[in-house]
Amino acid sequence: MARLSIHRNISLFNVRSPLFLILDNKNIGQLTIIKPRECSIPASEHTVYVKDILGFTSPVLTINIREDRESVVKVSNKLSLLLLLLFLIVFSILLKSLLVSFPASAINPILITIWLISLVVLFIFCRHSFYKVQEDTPVQNKHL
């Protein structure tokens, strides 16, 4: 059996949100910043990705686990998640202020449509790119 160690990087954003580690399409538990998740798995090719409680996922990483090396995988947030959520927050505040200021304005349906399109893009096209999973440089296992 080979060892796989998965670390969640510290981030200023989305730190408390639970991430669930999916290894070979099986949920093997929650991934926290405090303690890396370590597991023993057969030496072969495996797939790894993370998923949050809303269903947002990372791209699937395929790693080749070898007996003579400890494999390390790092999980982090992508900047695109922060930028997109900031855009939606600013746009929501702008939309709310315009709706209060100009309730009969013709611009309101356009703003609502743009906001809804942004949500559709968020949930359909970007949902698998908010987290980054990457293999770290393998370390020679001295215990073997």
Domain ranges in the chain are 2-76+131-140, 81-123
Q: What confidence score (pLDDT) does residue 114 get?
A: 77
Rounded distance, CA 144 to CA 125, Å?
44
Q: What confidence score (pLDDT) does residue 99 get?
A: 67
Q: What confidence score (pLDDT) does residue 144 get?
A: 45
Query: Tens digit of pLDDT per residue, the chain (144 long)?
Result: 888 888 888 766 656 678 899 999 999 988 888 888 888 889 899 999 998 887 788 889 999 888 877 889 988 877 666 667 777 788 778 777 766 666 555 566 777 777 788 777 777 777 777 788 888 865 554 444
Strands 69-77 and 2-8: parallel
Q: For the structural domain made of 2-76+131-140, what CATH number should be given? A: 2.60.40.10
State pTM to two decimals: 0.67
Question: Any idea of the CA torsion for 110, 112, 114, 116, to the nearest 10 degrees?
Answer: -150
Q: What confidence score (pLDDT) does residue 103 get?
A: 59
